[in-house]
Amino acid sequence: MQRYHALDFIRGCAILGILLLNIVGFALPSAAYLNPAWHGEPAARDVWSWAVLDVLAQLKFLTLFALLFGAGLQLQLPRGSRWLSSRLTLLALIGLFHAVAMWEGDILLDYAIVGLIVWRMLRDAPSTRGLFKTGALLYLMGSGVLLIFGSISDPEPTRSWLPGAADLEYERFWKLAGGWEAVQNRLDHLASSLMALASQYGWQLAGLMMMGAALLRCGWLTGGFSQQHYRRCAALLLLAGYALALFGVATQWMLHWSFRWSAFYLQVPRDLASPLISLGYAALILAYWPQLARWRASRAIQCVGRMALSNYLLQTLICTTLFYRFDLFMRFDRLQLLAFVPAVWLVNILFSVIWLRFFPQGPLEWLWRRLTRLAAGRPPQSPLSR
């Protein structure tokens, strides 16, 4: 299968960028992920950290990763139904283990479940333009569901949005103590996540995967257009996306993160902005790829992208060890947590570069591929081979 180096680089950027927000999920209570006022009136530096990250990164790198996941499904289609079904089922099992045994913020299970549905739609879609339009419509439907949820929700904030002192102490206890108590809480979180996937997020995720597959089909994601085209796209997409994102952030701030508005209605501007900004980032990279490809740092980030699964789980291992085993949970604010991010990035990069000097695949990528071959009824290849 042909390797697209620019896509590896974009995927590497997505994996590294996801940590900018996940670090909050690891180190602060779950309510802090979207609500900077989770513990009362936030400090100015905490609000500004939230605002900048919300505009530049919140949901953007997850959206970019979902688009690339759909592109990957399109690339894998020639391998056949048994291969894809086996591959995605195994990813679901990896995600289930990650969500239950390691960290409740897993995305792999969601991607696998939706992928098992979407790849059949990709196979049967005759028109690239129709595929993209259908994906966009599904994404808009998922965003529209948030408006319905907002209209029927209780105006009083839930404990997941504004936890009390006892809720915070209990979350700190089970995250640091681990064991069966932590597993039970992760299972509860998993049940809620799957309900959200079925009712709202799954529509968006399916739409993004379909749009990503369509953009690969037409050659947009593989650099098939001129550099001028990508520069124009980057300018227009980022301008429109940032305008929407800034509107949502400013309005939440003015409303002091009112539950119904910030948890539902004002998530919609962020949701609408995220595909625009994510594609704007991709267009910016593709516009300057001939120059970027010459940089040593770009080759290192490509290595991270080639080992996306291994690096995603490595981030969980590092952060859960730091914040739960060394009792650093709830010890830092958003701005301080950003200091941890470059250190984890450095581990990701060094691990990827060194590993790929000796082997053609990451360790989990090799295991995933080998098990897929066995499940699909194909003879296994030599150890750590492509």
**Phi (first) and psi of residue 226, to 5 degrees:** -75, 160
Give the pLDDT confidence score for residue 378 in this predicted structure.
Answer: 72
Q: What is the pTM of this model?
A: 0.95
**Mean pLDDT calculated for residue range 48-75:** 97
Confidence tier at 383 by pLDDT (50, 70, 90):
very low
Give the pLDDT confidence score for residue 382 in this predicted structure.
Answer: 47
Count Cβ atoms within 10 A of the Cβ of residue 63 and give its class: 0-12 exposed, 13-18 middle, 19 or more buried. buried
Domain boundaries, the chain: 5-375
**Could you tell me what percent of the chain has a pLDDT over 90?**
95
In tens, the pLDDT along 34-47 reads 999 999 999 999 99
Q: Of 106-120, 138-152, 163-177, 368-382, which range is least confident?
A: 368-382
Distance CA 91, CA 75 (A): 17
- How far lies 134's CA from each of 55, 75, 121, 128, 207, in Å? 26, 19, 10, 10, 7
Give the pLDDT confidence score for residue 230 in this predicted structure.
Answer: 98
**Mean pLDDT calculated for residue range 55-83:** 96
Please say whether the dihedral angle defined by the alpha carbons of residues 262, 134, 198 and 86, taken in this order, is positive or negative: negative
Give the pLDDT confidence score for residue 386 in this predicted structure.
Answer: 40
Average pLDDT, the chain: 95
Give the pLDDT confidence score for residue 377 in this predicted structure.
Answer: 87
In tens, the pLDDT along 303-350 reads 999 999 999 999 999 999 999 999 999 999 999 999 999 999 999 999
**Mean pLDDT calculated for residue range 234-245:** 98
Task: Record the tokens describing residue 239, joined without a space.
Answer: 């301008």
Residue of 353, 261, 258 lying closest to 311 (CA atoms)? 353
**Mean pLDDT calculated for residue range 196-223:** 97
